[in-house]
């Protein structure tokens, strides 16, 4: 097949009408032939700009050149030197604002599909049982990693490769953090992708202890003094949901997106043979415009509801990835833009019966440069819904910082840590990911985990 160098090789997807009724992955990915074709579009730049756009600086031209040659195994080992979770990142990174935004091909035509190629390589490696390479010997030092999300898994993986004895402590019953409880099956399959990437980290020698809540089951100070750990990395994320504080918010049928997604993704409430229930709803309003809002909306749709996204700014300001908004629209999600909730209406039994909203218009730009939405007086109306999902963002859980002597946080309860090496205000304790930055992206958390692994290595080598 002749490749048009200006256009990317299209990726196969499930038909929107079919996928709106199932939880199977939407994007089917490249096969080998398509991947090799797409790889030929890469110019193999010497000073590759794409690498600077990647928070973990994967050597993109090198792995793509191996794909071009058809040597997928070698391509996988190149990626593995930089990333512990390529099958995840290839799927959920906002490549359009990272690696692909810097691609030279993107100036005249479409950027090379770096994310889809990374995903293909990682999927191929899994299907062919290729594992990352383990450290040859241990250095006798122990590091504890708190949280098994992207930051923790990356930090643990890098430290294990450097010869450390690493144990991850996870509060939930499954490892993966937001990869397990947050991002839905139809974007990130749990068994084939998440579980197997976690297995790859374990294959490097990392131990994972689930059901341990640091700050309750044990503390960081006890890990350092009683359990013999030489350093600790905190990658506990930003899992505390925000609510609006409007009337009716405690009614039955109002959920945080975290609860709704945890029930569906982690507890598999969408499957009949799992015990956890979920209130599907007939008509659902999702408040918010981020990726989490898209995930919650598309989940509710698959559970059989008519779904409205209620967002107070316009389409241009939607913080969600363009691809996700596009997918949501294709599936039939209704966007009520420039619309803001005023109150939730409740029936006599305590259930949601509607949401009163007001129309908004965009005013002058605020300090952040975004145009501030202001209410249009007298434009209130009611949307009849039986379920409301609040997706207004999250902040770090104060449990760890409040139970660790000397670990300082800023006014948003984010742990204060050096961006370069993850160093916190407490000796031997490092931190990274959403626990430090507040809710951000998977790949930024991985970058922070990587930087902290380097920081911990330097600290322990000089100790």
Give the integer Cα–Cα distance in Å for 235 and 453: 12
> Interface with other proteins includes 381 (CB under 8 A)?
no
Minimum Å gap between C-beta 388 and other proteins is: 13
**Contact residues for 129 (Cβ-Cβ < 8 A; gap 6+):** none
- Whose structure tokens read 């859980």? 397
> Interface with other proteins includes 213 (CB under 8 A)?
yes
> Binding pattern to other proteins, positions 226-255, x when CB under 8 A?
-------------xxx-x-x---xx-xx-x
Give the integer Cα–Cα distance in Å for 86 and 22: 25
DSSP-based three-state secondary structure for 144: strand
> Interface with other proteins includes 282 (CB under 8 A)?
no
Minimum Å gap between C-beta 258 and other proteins is: 5
Nearer to other proteins, 122 or 267 (CB): 267
> Interface with other proteins includes 195 (CB under 8 A)?
no
> Interface with other proteins includes 121 (CB under 8 A)?
no
Contacts 24+ apart (CB under 8 A), 244-250: 244/287, 244/341, 244/390, 244/392, 246/341, 246/342, 246/343, 246/344, 247/343, 247/344, 248/343, 248/344, 248/345, 248/346, 248/352, 249/344, 249/390
C-alpha 395, offset from chain centre = 15
Give the integer Cα–Cα distance in Å for 267 and 260: 10
**Total of chain residues touching other proteins, rule CB under 8 A:** 38
> Interface with other proteins includes 412 (CB under 8 A)?
no
Give the integer Cα–Cα distance in Å for 268 and 277: 9
Give the integer Cα–Cα distance in Å for 358 and 341: 6
Q: CB 311: neighbour CB atoms within 10 A?
A: 26
CA R_g for the chain: 23
> Interface with other proteins includes 217 (CB under 8 A)?
yes
Nearer to other proteins, 245 or 378 (CB): 245
Residue of 18, 275, 367, 377 that binds other proteins (CB under 8 A): 275
> Binding pattern to other proteins, positions 383-402, x when CB under 8 A?
-----------x--x-x---
Residue of 113, 167, 200, 256 that binds other proteins (CB under 8 A): 256
Nearer to other proteins, 217 or 410 (CB): 217
> Interface with other proteins includes 128 (CB under 8 A)?
no
Only segment of 60-68, 124-132, 211-219, 362-370 that touches other proteins (CB under 8 A): 211-219
Binding stretches for other proteins (CB under 8 A): 171-173, 210-213, 216-218, 239-241, 243, 245, 249-250, 252-253, 255-256, 258-259, 262-263, 267-268, 273-277, 279, 349-350, 394, 397, 399
């Amino acid at each position: 097949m002749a490749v048009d160098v200006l256009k990317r090789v299209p990726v196969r997807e499930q038909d929107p009408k079919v996928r709106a009724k199932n939880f199977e992955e939407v994007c089917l990915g490249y096969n080998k032939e398509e991947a090799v074709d797409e790889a030929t579009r890469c110019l193999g730049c010497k000073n590759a700009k794409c690498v600077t756009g990647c928070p973990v600086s994967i050597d993109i031209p090198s792995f793509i050149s191996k794909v071009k040659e058809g040597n997928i195994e070698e391509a996988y080992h190149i990626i593995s030197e930089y990333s512990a979770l390529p099958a995840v990142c290839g799927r959920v990174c906002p490549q359009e604002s990272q690696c692909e935004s810097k691609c030279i091909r993107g100036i005249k035509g479409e950027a090379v599909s770096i994310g889809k190629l990374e995903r293909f390589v990682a999927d191929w490696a899994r299907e062919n049982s290729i594992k990352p390479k383990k450290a040859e010997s241990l250095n006798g030092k122990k590091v504890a990693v708190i949280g098994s999300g992207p930051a923790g898994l990356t930090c643990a993986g890098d430290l294990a490769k450097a010869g450390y004895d690493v144990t991850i402590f996870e509060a939930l019953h499954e490892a993966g953090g937001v990869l397990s409880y947050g991002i839905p099956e139809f974007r990130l399959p749990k068994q084939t992708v998440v579980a197997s990437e976690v297995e790859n980290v374990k294959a490097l020698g990392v131990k994972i202890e689930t059901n341990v809540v640091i700050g309750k089951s044990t503390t960081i100070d006890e890990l350092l003094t009683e359990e013999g750990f030489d350093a600790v990395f905190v990658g506990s994320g930003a899992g505390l949901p925000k609510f609006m504080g409007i009337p009716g918010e405690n009614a039955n049928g109002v959920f945080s997106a975290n609860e709704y997604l945890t029930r569906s993704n982690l507890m598999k409430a969408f499957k009949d043979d799992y015990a956890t229930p979920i209130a599907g709803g007939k008509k659902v309003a999702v408040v918010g415009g981020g990726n989490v809002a898209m995930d919650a909306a598309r989940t509710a749709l698959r559970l059989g509801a008519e779904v409205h996204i209620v967002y107070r700014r316009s389409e241009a300001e939607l913080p969600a990835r363009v691809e996700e908004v596009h997918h949501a629209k294709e599936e039939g999600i209704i966007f009520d833009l420039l619309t803001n909730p005023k109150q939730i209406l409740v029936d006599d039994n305590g259930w949601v019966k509607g949401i009163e909203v007001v129309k908004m218009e965009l005013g002058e730009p605020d300090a952040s440069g975004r145009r501030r939405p202001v209410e249009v007086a007298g434009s209130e109306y009611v949307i009849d819904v039986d379920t409301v999902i609040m997706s207004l963002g999250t902040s770090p859980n104060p449990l760890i910082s409040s139970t660790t002597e000397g670990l300082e946080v800023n006014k948003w309860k984010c742990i204060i840590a050096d961006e370069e090496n993850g160093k916190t205000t407490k000796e031997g304790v490092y931190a990274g990911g959403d626990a430090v930055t507040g809710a951000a992206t998977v790949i930024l958390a991985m970058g922070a985990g990587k930087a902290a692994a380097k920081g911990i290595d330097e600290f322990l080598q000089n100790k």
